[in-house]
Amino acid sequence: MTTLLKQNISKHISLSEKEAEEFSALFRPQTIPKKGYFLKEGDVCKFEGFVNKGLFKVYLIDEKGFEQILSFPREDWWIGDIDSFINQSPSHYFIQAIEYSEILVISKEDKERLYQNIPKVERLFRIMGQKSLIALHRRMSENLRKTADRRYIDFIEKNTRLSQRLTNLQIASYLGISHEFVSKIRRKISLKK
């Protein structure tokens, strides 16, 4: 188990040495090169992963053929398509590495084994699920409630370090605005300075 995963877990549950060993034995390390895929549309999400290093984009192709980015999982995040993973059904998402990434993956069967053998892991993933749900609700409600200008400014302010790792095109796709509009907002902001 990596230090980051240990810290991630210990925020929510405490495992004995034996449990920690059992926990980490079910994960295996995987590296994904820049632009490599963790998941592609149409495939079944066979693994969930913990991001130890790197950055991903989760996106789907909309009805007009455009890439719509849903999230940017990075260090200390869990990745996967929960619908496809739980129901072992084809995914609608792509999960692609924006940077060279190192993850720890677990299969559905092994995750079930984890719940059976170490019941307090239920708590860990109950809390992780809540966090994902809150993040998705926030993204969705912000896209509906805020103007494009506001969304862009808030994103940059709240995600200073992340936004330096992204292109304008990626930020625009995540915020549901056009690339041209981002350039317009950036000009507006720099004029105000």
Alpha helix segments (H runs only) across 94-167: 108-117, 121-145, 148-158, 160-164
Q: How far is the CB of 156 from a second copy (least distance, A)?
A: 19
Residue 126 in contact with a second copy, rule: CB under 8 A: yes
Which one of 26-34, 42-50, 63-71, 165-173 is the stretch in contact with a second copy (CB under 8 A)?
A: 63-71
- Cα–Cα dist 94/77, whole Å: 17
Phi, psi of 65 (to 5 degrees): 90, 5
| Nearer residue to a second copy within complex by CB, 63 or 157 | 63
**Residue 88 φ/ψ region, left for φ over 0, alpha for ψ in the -120 to 50 degree band, beta for the rest:** left
| Residues 67-106, interacting with a second copy (CB under 8 A) | 68, 70, 81-83, 86-87, 92-93
Which one of 26-34, 54-62, 165-173, 180-188 is the stretch in contact with a second copy (CB under 8 A)?
A: 54-62
Q: How far is the CB of 145 from a second copy (least distance, A)?
A: 6
CA distances from 63 to 58, 79, 80, 97, 179 (A): 17, 24, 22, 23, 18
Residue 14 in contact with a second copy, rule: CB under 8 A: no
Contact, 96 vs 57, CB < 8 A? yes
Residue 140 in contact with a second copy, rule: CB under 8 A: yes
Q: How far is the CB of 100 from a second copy (least distance, A)?
A: 27
- Cα–Cα dist 40/90, whole Å: 9
Phi, psi of 50 (to 5 degrees): -105, 125
Residue 44 in contact with a second copy, rule: CB under 8 A: no
Q: CB count, 10 Å around CB of 62?
A: 10
Residue 25 in contact with a second copy, rule: CB under 8 A: no
Which one of 23-31, 103-111, 138-146, 181-189 is the stretch in contact with a second copy (CB under 8 A)?
A: 138-146
Q: CB count, 10 Å around CB of 161?
A: 7
> Pattern of binders to a second copy over 146-175, x per CB under 8 A?
xx----------------------------
**Which positions lie near a second copy, rule CB under 8 A?**
60-63, 68, 70, 81-83, 86-87, 92-93, 115, 119-120, 122-123, 125-126, 129-130, 132-134, 136-138, 140-141, 144-147
